[in-house]
Each structure stands twice: as structure tokens, then as C-alpha cells.
Amino acid sequence: MQEWWRSAVIYQVYPRSFQDSDGDGVGDLKGITSRLDHIAALGADCIWLSPIFASPQADMGYDVSDYMAIDPLFGDLDDFDMLIRSAHDRGLKVIVDQVLSHTSAKHDWFKQSRASRDNDKADWYVWADPLPDGSPPTNWHSHFGGPAWEFDPQRGQYYLHHFLTSQPDLNFHNPDVVDAILETCKFWLDRGLDGFRLDTVNYYFHDKELRSNPPAQTRPQVMATDLYGMQHNLYNKTRPENLGFLERLRALTEKYDDIMMVGEVGEMGHRSIEIMGEYTAGNDRLHMAYSFAMLGPDFSAEHFQNCIQGFQRGAPDGHPYWSFSNHDVPRQVTRWAEHAVSEDAMARLACAMLMSFEGTIGIYQGEELGQTETELTFEELTDPPAIRFWPAVKGRDGCRTPMVWEKDAPNAGFSTGKPWLPVKAPQAAKAVDQQGEGSILAYYKHVIALRKSHPALTRGKTVFLPLPEPVLGFTRTADEETMTCVFNLSPDPQVIKIKGTASVVLSNAATLGADRLTLDGNGFAYLLHGTGFAVLKG
């Protein structure tokens, strides 16, 4: 089996914001197809499409009303088939976001389920009676604020929702639900899809006994909206039954040629790395998993080392997927700005770090341009939690604004109509047509090609070097090739003592001397080992 995904660079497309082909201000499948050459030229191997299925769009497609239909906002099945063919013609694989833990309240399944307690789908969602005082069955919180339970007067019961009240959770303890979900996945595999990105992959099952969560031990409340983090979310997600479902889903994919599944682990901190390991262990669960461990504000050598080593320990036979940004978090150049000499320096440092990591690599659209977070006013927001909790929460719209293609074209070439989120001048300034020689886009192309040309970078095992903060350093070795990668995660110069000979494969703001490597602020280097080369200390 080829297992193309093991060394792949996966490019995430947010369909609403990539390219609009019909002037309605929203990106679509035809628009994506028209821009495939950009992705292929970057050197990516695969496209991950955020949700494109039928949906009322209360949570931008993460509330599915029909798993086997394309939302008219994005096109139709013919447009989907054309996208698949066009991508394959360019050597690109395509995976699609599968949101399986919950549906829209407008899904026919839920309409029938809520109608009565004794119909064929009555037990397809998580229903529970109120407590004697009328309060919710457990203390579980929703990610988007308030309890994770909504009272439904039609049934006189509460239903579970981890996100919006219009996103009820499916009851995976019901085998009919599991069978129906697997059938929807088969539908897309039969149409030539190359795999799935599984949203909230550790949320499928809940505790059947409906036990309340204990308080968190190490994460105090930091703002009024952080109630979810005040609990040790033990009973509402990451239940042991999840593994059995993943094994059934993997068995389905094994009936097709070289399919890949990558799961999103909805968890922070060290526990997220443990779950990644558990969900990818062996060869009968997920092919890969990623968490939010590298998608937060933490930016230290210790943090990145702990993430990678934690996965190595937890799943020695597993395979990780690492990314620094996606549609749910502020863009990396902005998120880590306090550690940067400049936006340009941080963009190059982040690119070089990510492409040096062991595993599969993910890029979110616009990161290859060095894109920054968009500052939005309240009136411009579309993201439900931001609208609810503004200004304490700015939400996710700032990273979801449209892709910029031509600086001086209307809406930077994204749409001829009014875009669903605005294109602002700081973002338009980074348009593709402004990215010439020496640009961030050119740099991404160069580093991706470099990664693919060195077995140490695509397949090499990682061994960390005992370097002090703020320097991250490790070696990677494969096919008798050893590469040392060293990164200065601060704006202050750092000096690393070395011995022996090495050749510089990639560097920025770095000087290799006879016995030392000098890294200016945010400087870094890939060093190919020569005679007796070793890093001594900082």
C-alpha cells in the first residue's frame, strides 16, 4: 500500500473564503476548482475541505442537515465530482470534513426524533429527563456558552448539544445510528474521495450513566466564558466506546484503495497528546490525529518538545499530524507576535519549524502568504460565540476572512459581490500577486520542496538536543542522512556551540562558524551533518 499520507503536506481550504465563482460573496466548489493550480504549485499533496454538505449554516456548515447532499451555497454533486477529477489530474488528493458527532436540528433524523418518545428514531439522539427540580440531567457545559442541555417541550426532555443548541448530539450507543453514519461515509468514498478529516473525533460517545463531571484540577476559570475549562471533561467525551467506532470506520476505509482518516482531538494540553496516541495506536484506528496542542498561544522550546515527545511515547507505532493554524484559532503570525522580530520573520520561522517536524504537515489557507488575523468590528461578525460574548471573545471570523489573490482587484480577487466577511487592506497587501521572488509564498514553495527532497525530513526519527530556552533543536536521521534543525524562538540573538563540519541546507538570520552557530532573533538553520558534526550546548 502506498500510504501517501505519511509524508504529505495537506492544505486546508475553507470553502466559504477561498474563491467565489458566481458573485454571491461566498466561496464555492467551482471557485476552488479554478484555483487548484495555486495549491499544486505550492507543493501540497492533499486538500482538506471544511464542510460542504447541506446545512442551515448556523455554525458555518458544522451543523449538517443532509450528509449526502452538497449545500447549494457551494454547488452540487456535479461540481463536487469535477473538483475531485480536477484535483486528481494535478496529483492532489481530496479529503472532506465529516461532522459525525452531531447534526443540525433541521436534519430529518432529529425532526423525527423529537416528535415523540416511541418513533423509529426516538433514540437516535441523546435525550434525558429533567432532574426532580427541572434542571439539566448533568452539569456538562457547552463550548459555546451555557449548559450542554436544551429542554425540548415536544418531548418534555432535554437533549445534549456540545456546541449550539441547534446542533444536537447523535446517540452513538444506538447501533442503528452507527450503521447510518457509516453508510453516509461510504457514499463519499464511492464518489472517489480520498479520506476524511473527522471533526471532534473524541466526542462521539457520552457516558450512558449521565454522570456529572468533576471540577478541573489545574485549569482555573480565567474569564466568564471559560466555564467549559473549569471541568475535568471526563464523562461527556473521550469515552472508551469511541475506539470501537473508530475501528469500524477504519474497517470501512480498508475496503477502498489507500484512504486516509485524520481526527481532530478536541482537547488541550498534555491530555490531547495522550489521546492522539491512543486513537492512532496500531493499524485499526485512525491513520493520524491532531489536537489543539500546537494551535494555542504557547510558543516555547519546551512546549513543542513536549508535544512531539509525548506523541512518541504514547503511540510509538502511530503517526502524527502537526499544524500551527486552522479555521478555529487566530493566525499564527498574529498569535505569536510577542515572540517575533517582525511578521516576516515569524512567518519564515513558523514555516521552517513546521516543515521540519516528523509526521504529516497541515497548512491553513493564507498561511503561505504570511497572512495575519483580520481585525473586525462587532457589526462584521458572523461567529456565534463571538456575537454572544463580545468583546471578551473575538471569535473565529478573524482567521476566516477571504483568500486574497489580487491586491488591487475588488475584494482582492475573491468575489465580484460583497463578501460574507470583509477583505481589509492589511490582508489584501499580502495577495498572491504581490508574492514575488523572495516572498513568503516563494519561501513556502522552497521549504516544502526541500522537505520532500531529504529523507531525513520526510521519514527521519526525531531526537531532541539538550538546548536551553528559547532554542529548540533536534536531529532527524533516515537513509544514512542526518539533519540537525535549530530554531531561536525569541527576538534576542542566541549562540550554539558546535564541533565538526556541516553544510547549511536552509537558514535565516543564522551564521555558521567554525565552532558556533549564531542565531539572530527568530533565526534558524537546517544543518546536514558532515564529519564529526555535533551540537555541544547553547
pLDDT digits (tens, 9 = 90+) for 114-159: 999 999 999 999 999 999 999 999 999 999 889 999 999 999 999 9
- 430 and 451 in contact (C-beta within 8 Å)? no
| CATH assignment of 4-102+175-212+234-371+437-451, among 1.10.240.10, 3.20.20.80, 3.40.50.300, 3.50.50.60 | 3.20.20.80
Q: Which long-range contacts (CB under 8 A, 24 or more apart) does 20-25 make?
A: 20/402, 20/414, 20/415, 20/416, 20/417, 20/419, 23/415, 23/416, 23/417, 24/415, 24/417, 25/415, 25/417, 25/418, 25/419, 25/420
288: helix, strand or coil: strand
**How many Å apart are CA 109 and CA 177, to the nearest integer?**
10
What pLDDT shows up at residue 316?
84
- The one catalytic residue in 20, 264, 267, 274 is 267
Tell me the per-residue pLDDT of 275-310, one tens digit each, with 9 for 90 and over. Answer: 999 999 889 999 999 888 899 999 999 999 999 998
pLDDT digits over 479-531, tens only? 999 999 999 999 999 999 999 999 999 999 999 999 999 999 999 999 999 99
Catalytic residue check, 179: no
Residue 465 has pLDDT above 60, yes or no: yes
Domain ranges in the chain are: 4-102+175-212+234-371+437-451, 461-537
Mean pLDDT of 195-218: 95
pLDDT at residue 222 tops 60: no
pLDDT of 221 higher than 70: no
- Interval 368-418: pLDDT, tens: 999 999 999 999 999 998 998 899 889 999 999 999 999 999 999 999 999
- Indicate the helix (H) or strand (E) that contains 195: strand 195-198
267 is catalytic: yes
Average pLDDT of the chain, as a whole number: 95
Half-sphere exposure of 242 (CA within 13 A, CB side): 25
**527 beta partners:** 484, 504
Helix (H, G, I), strand (E, B) or coil at 175: helix
Residue 415's pLDDT is 98
Residues 471-485 pLDDT 10s: 999 999 999 999 999
**pLDDT grade for 538, boundaries at 50, 70 and 90:** low
Write out the H or E segment, with its range, that includes residue 270. Answer: helix 269-280
**Residues 58-100: pLDDT tens digits?**
999 999 999 999 999 999 999 999 999 999 999 999 999 999 9
Please report which helix (H) or strand (E) contains residue 509, including its range. Answer: strand 502-512
Percent of the chain with pLDDT over 90: 89
Q: Copy the grid coordinates of residue 114.
A: 423529537
**Residue 356 above 70 pLDDT?**
yes
pLDDT of residue 433: 98
CATH topology agreement for domains 4-102+175-212+234-371+437-451 and 461-537: no
Domain 461-537 CATH class label = mainly beta
Percent of the chain with pLDDT over 70: 98
Q: What does the pLDDT average to over 255-278?
A: 90
pLDDT of residue 392: 85
Catalytic residue (choose from 28, 199, 278, 383): 199
- 220 — pLDDT class (breaks 50, 70, 90): low
